[in-house]
Chains A and B, each alone.
Chain A
Amino acid sequence: MSEKKQQVSRRQFLNYTLTGVGGFMAAGMLAPMVRFAIDPVLQPAAQGNYQAVAQLDEITNEPQRFDWTMDQVDGWYESTVTKSAWVYRNDNDEIIALSPVCKHLGCFVSWAGSEDYPDQFFCPCHDGRYFKDGENVPGTPPAAPLDEYEFKTEEGTLYLGKAKPKGGVI
């Protein structure tokens, strides 16, 4: 009779319960921490905000302007914004996609926008100029090269992502 009752001793019972409750509490603490720790790894996959902009065979050695629209939520404003890029192939056959926003005060630059400089980007506001590779022409108002878009190509289509400052030469 006492043998049967001894199957779970008081000591064992307490051990099991304490381990169980302790484990539960530990899990309760660890789960959020682990989730927070791996969260950055999970994020970028959801944000790959690339937009189809042009067909690869449209892109020539001469910079061309491509426009596309995307939805943007900016604080209170939910809007469809039109973005633009100057896209061309350089001498090494690499695709270059430059942002048209002047680094001086934010006007729109255009390729060959001035008759005097047919092979430069020109800003109509204060005569800022950039070479074909986006570098600012020294002595003109802009102090930095044009931003360059991140891009990827898939099945003959060019996708553009975010515009990144090029940095480097002042």
Chain B
Amino acid sequence: MRWQEEDIDLYIGAKEYVDTLLIPLMPLSMDDKFDINKLTVQGELLTIFANEIEKQFKGRIFLMPTYNYMFNEESSLELTRLNNWVDKIEANPFKHIFLLTLDHQWKKHERDLAGNLLWFPAIQSGNVSSKESQVIIKDQINQLSELIRSYW
């Protein structure tokens, strides 16, 4: 399910079946210090992953709109804010909270997060829509959905 009118109607009628929340965490930056190119590719990938997972498990996973934050900022601030988000939504109730990201900085704070962190490294083969990348991405998505299913 998504943050969309038609899905919300469905969600309200079937709340007890939707017990899993998925929040993609996407870092942004416009600072030349960082590799903005890499950040955008990661952002695109993250969106693809989130959409595909939602499509496969539409009836059980609620996909939150992406959580955006400035890259390389003071992370404790974001940690508090994100946990706050999760706390508020978790009461809905959601049994499983997954935080999906390609930003490795979260890994260090995994213990303090109010959800299961699904971090994985991005593939660096450039174009996301090329044939080769598609095969790799599909495979990664399959593994990711298996991981999520193992929590259920």
User: A residues near B, CB below 8 A?
Assistant: 102, 104-108, 123-126, 141
- Tell me the nearest residue of chain B to A124, going by C-beta: B149
Least Cβ distance of B36 to chain A in Å? Answer: 25
User: What size tier do the contact residues of chain B reach?
Assistant: 10 to 19
Residues on the A chain within 8 Å of B57, using CB: 107-108, 124-125
- Tell me the nearest residue of chain A to B149, going by C-beta: A124
The tally of CB-CB contacts under 8 A between chains A and B is 37
User: B residues near A, CB below 8 A?
Assistant: 10, 14, 17-18, 55-60, 145, 149, 152
Residues on the A chain within 8 Å of B56, using CB: 107-108, 124
Least Cβ distance of A144 to chain B in Å? Answer: 14
Between A and B, 18 residue pairs with Cβ closer than 8 Å are A102-B59, A104-B17, A104-B59, A105-B17, A105-B18, A106-B10, A106-B58, A107-B60, A108-B55, A108-B56, A123-B59, A124-B145, A124-B149, A124-B152, A125-B17, A126-B17, A126-B60, A141-B17
The 9 closest A-B pairs by CB, nearest first: A105-B59, A125-B60, A106-B58, A107-B59, A125-B59, A108-B56, A106-B59, A107-B57, A107-B58
Residues on the B chain within 8 Å of A141, using CB: 17
The CA-CA distance from A123 to B145 in the complex, in Å, is 13
Per DSSP, are chain A's interface residues mostly helix, strand or loop, or mixed? Answer: loop
A105 touches B14 (CB 8 A): yes
The CA-CA distance from A124 to B17 in the complex, in Å, is 12
Residues on the B chain within 8 Å of A123, using CB: 59
Residues on the B chain within 8 Å of A106, using CB: 10, 58-59
The CA-CA distance from A104 to B17 in the complex, in Å, is 10
Residues on the A chain within 8 Å of B55, using CB: 108
- Tell me the nearest residue of chain B to A141, going by C-beta: B17
Residues on the A chain within 8 Å of B60, using CB: 105, 107, 125-126
Tell me whether A105 and B10 are in contact in the complex, defined as CB-CB below 8 angstroms, given that A125-B57, A125-B60, A126-B17 are known contacts.
Answer: yes
Tell me whether A105 and B149 are in contact in the complex, defined as CB-CB below 8 angstroms, given that A125-B17, A126-B17 are known contacts.
Answer: no
- Identify 9 new A-B residue pairs, CB closer than 8 A, beyond the known A105-B18, A124-B152, A141-B17: A102-B59, A105-B17, A105-B59, A105-B60, A106-B58, A107-B58, A108-B56, A124-B56, A125-B58
The CA-CA distance from A165 to B76 in the complex, in Å, is 51
- Tell me the nearest residue of chain A to B56, going by C-beta: A108
Residues on the B chain within 8 Å of A104, using CB: 17, 59
Least Cβ distance of A86 to chain B in Å? Answer: 14
Residues on the B chain within 8 Å of A105, using CB: 10, 14, 17-18, 58-60
Residues on the B chain within 8 Å of A125, using CB: 17, 57-60
Residues on the A chain within 8 Å of B14, using CB: 105
- Tell me the nearest residue of chain A to B145, going by C-beta: A124
Least Cβ distance of A74 to chain B in Å? Answer: 11
The CA-CA distance from A102 to B10 in the complex, in Å, is 14
- Tell me the nearest residue of chain B to A104, going by C-beta: B59
The CA-CA distance from A35 to B14 in the complex, in Å, is 46
Residues on the B chain within 8 Å of A124, using CB: 56-57, 145, 149, 152
